[in-house]
Chains A and B, each alone.
Chain A
Amino acid sequence: MAGITPIVMPKWGLSMKEGTVTAWLVDEGTTIHVGMPILEVETDKIANAVEAPDPGLLRRKLADVGDFLPVKALLGVMAGDDVSDADIDAYVAAYVTPAADDDEDDAAPAYQFVDVKGIRTRYARKGAAEGTPVLFIHGFGGDLDNWLFNIDAVGEKAPVLAFDLPGHGQSAIHLPGASLAALADFVADFMDAVVVQRAHLVGHSMGAAIAAKLALMDAQRVASLTLIGAAGLGSEINADYTGGFATAPSRRELKPLLEMLFADASLVNRQMVDDVLKYKRLDGVTELLSELGGALFGGGQQSEQPARELGSSPAALVLWGREDRIVPAAHAANAPPGAKVEVFDGVGHMAQMERASDVNRLILAHIGG
């Protein structure tokens, strides 16, 4: 209906099917601007604010605090003050929550697997059909779900690919080699396996160093670089985190480490800790992470800093949280020549989660979407 903008339950990550409304942050009658936090939603993985995708006047709150609702369920309505209450009533009455687009029997499952030179690799392909794909590369100990707030938003404008590095997430627990070169080779092999010649690389932490390495090794495969909380731009890295993450045996030891990733430690909930433990307890993971972390970050020093060797092409976007306790935000000063640099206040190492809407907007602007 003309002039009415729905606020719906977001889909954060490939496995989210429903969420709980935990708080409204604005009152009816508030003028909303783009990016303004409107309400808070909690899923079994994480809690976050739902931000306004469009400007408008909040006319109606429909979801109550505590409501557990499916993705795309109508939470509220924005409309100009020229729209009558009757029109809003009619809109709400006629609204039908669309069916989830990734039902188990759907033709395109959320996660897929591909063999990359003998390494079974989990990945997800989403988003637009046309254009140069955006390839997300997670960091040390992470997996493709680190991009849960980014995949769908960036996918509205471009094809999106995200995958689990070897020995991470649900990919095979086997390293092609404990060096950035071996992992950058793997990324190129993965791109071959999913028939992608050239991509915009978005890397987080160790994934940023891998992306930079690939740009140095084979520049023609890299359309642009986005480096978030990047490794590879300086020598210092928090060894308490990298070493502790690999070996932490239980919830009690792991939780304070995961809290170091965020400026807001309350984002680390029980489910997140349990999920990371489930991964870490797979046979071979502790040894693999210790080997990789020791080779790349032993003694709190980054053994390789490829992002410092980058020139002005491919174009780089460097994003950081000022409160990053893993890789210091001061490393942003070493950004490649001509790079756009943005440092967010009140954000830690996981800027793509803690400041998702800004990160998404900057990525889209950077890739020309």
Chain B
Amino acid sequence: MARKISMKQAVNEALDQAMAADPSVICMGEDIVGGAGANGEKDAWGGVLGVTKGLYAKHGDRLLDTPLSESAYIGAAVGAAACGMRPVAELMFIDFMGVCFDQIFNQAAKFKYMFGGKAETPVVIRAMVGAGFRAAGQHSQMLTPLFTHIPGLKVVCPSNPYDTKGLLIQSIRDNDPVIFCEHKNLYAIEGEVPEASYAIPFGEASVVRDGKHCSIVTYGLMVHRSLEAAAALAKEGVEVEIVDLRTLSPLDIDTVLDSVTKTGRLVCVDEASPRCNIATDISAQVAMHAFGALKAQIEMVTPPHTPVPFSPTLEDMYIPSAGQIADAVRRTLKGGKH
């Protein structure tokens, strides 16, 4: 049956059910159990924000606390995946990926191609993304575009608990490396989630609001900001359609093109830095494949091209707001043909 749980609980439940169903699924990461050597209290911590709390009691030493060395344990996870395990490695903050890029970009993403399709690397790397947590520039980035750039990686960034559980289970079952991005400011939001196990296929965007005047294409936390903007615009008689991409690689461009063909207007909203991000990618693909459907200029809403500020006031100004999104919709509605 479905009941309301938080996005954090949805991650926990997906890991729990995947581990119960398949003994080759293991979890590893910094303090995901309770901190190395924490006798008797191993279960107390469950990761920096408590996402894996309680799993040690059920699955024991299939949860591994690792040394504070991302290059070492991400490499170990990739190697274990190549040897038949299905590791889920938690990298805490996506900002720390830099020290293990070789393991991810050059090894995990390439094995299938380097070994003539004979090697599979079913590793999932979970990491927190996004700003708004008062955690400064080295713990707040939305680095999704770095990973969508690399062939061989799949990139997921859910916006709600239902999608989180189904996409994480799919990530674990998938035979390719998956970068699973969890927005830290969405952990607390609640939604209806079935108790039973289920998987959502990759490459299927979700239309979260129907509208006929303008399409907003987005993902992650920005889905919620876009919904706020749409509610405000509805009072002005503007009906916005919102496409939640859910998976960034593979990308469901068909749903985007269908929506833009219907509405004729596009606003791309992305929390990632503005150069070469998901918004620019979507804009380019729509301009190329559906130019004739566009009635006006494409608008993009992104943060400015700066690091995420530590000042709370500046950080709040940095993250795209519902007001900025609504203004972008109004601009494209004013522009072009009528």
Q: Which of B47-55, B109-117, B200-208 contacts A (4 or more CB under 8 A)?
A: B200-208
Contact with B along A270-286 (1 / 0, CB 8 A): 10001000100111000
Partner of A170, one of B1, B197, B198: B1
Q: How many A-B residue pairs have CB under 8 A?
A: 31
Interface centre among B166, B194, B199, B210 (most CB of A within 10 A): B194
B199 touches A283 (CB 8 A): yes
B207 touches A270 (CB 8 A): yes
A252 to B206, CA, bound (A): 12
**A283 — which chain B residues lie within 8 A by C-beta?**
196-199
* Residues of B contacting A282 in the complex (Cβ-Cβ under 8 angstroms): 194, 196-198
Tell me whether B1 and A250 are in contact (CB under 8 A).
no
| Contact status B201-A249, CB under 8 Å | yes
Complex alpha-carbon distance, A166 and B120, angstroms: 37
| Range of interface residues on A (Cβ < 8 Å) | 10 to 19
Interchain CA distance A113-B201 in the complex, whole Å: 29
Q: Which A residues are in CB contact (< 8 Å) with B194?
A: 170, 278, 282
Determine if B288 is an interface residue (Cβ-Cβ < 8 Å): no
Query: Does A122 count as interface, using CB distance less than 8 angstroms?
Result: yes
Residues of B in contact, count (CB < 8 Å) = 16
B314 within 8 A of A: no
The answer to whether A122 and B1 touch across the interface, beta carbons within 8 angstroms, is yes
Find chain A residues with CB under 8 A from B166 CB.
Answer: 281
Inter-chain contacts of A270 with B (CB < 8 A): 207, 210
Taking CB atoms, residues of chain B closer than 8 Å to A173 are 196
B2 lies within 8 A of chain A by Cβ: yes
**Smallest beta-carbon distance A104→chain B, Å:** 10
CB-CB contacts below 8 Å: B80-130 with A: none
Q: Which residue of A lies closest to B194 (CB)?
A: A282
Q: Which of A250-292 contact B (CB under 8 A)?
A: 250-252, 269-270, 274, 278, 281-283
Contact of B1 among A113, A249, A269, A281 (CB under 8 A): A113
A249 CA to B201 CA, complexed, in Å: 8
Are A281 and B210 within 8 A (Cβ)?
no
A220-262 CB mask vs B (1 if < 8 Å, else 0) is 0000000000000000000000000000011110000000000
B219 shortest CB reach to chain A, Å: 17
Q: How far is the CA of A281 from the CA of B200 in the complex (A)?
A: 7
B→A interface (CB under 8 Å): 1-2, 162, 166, 194, 196-201, 204, 206-207, 210, 254
Listed from nearest, the 7 A-B pairs whose CB atoms lie closest are A283-B197, A281-B198, A282-B198, A170-B1, A282-B196, A250-B204, A270-B207
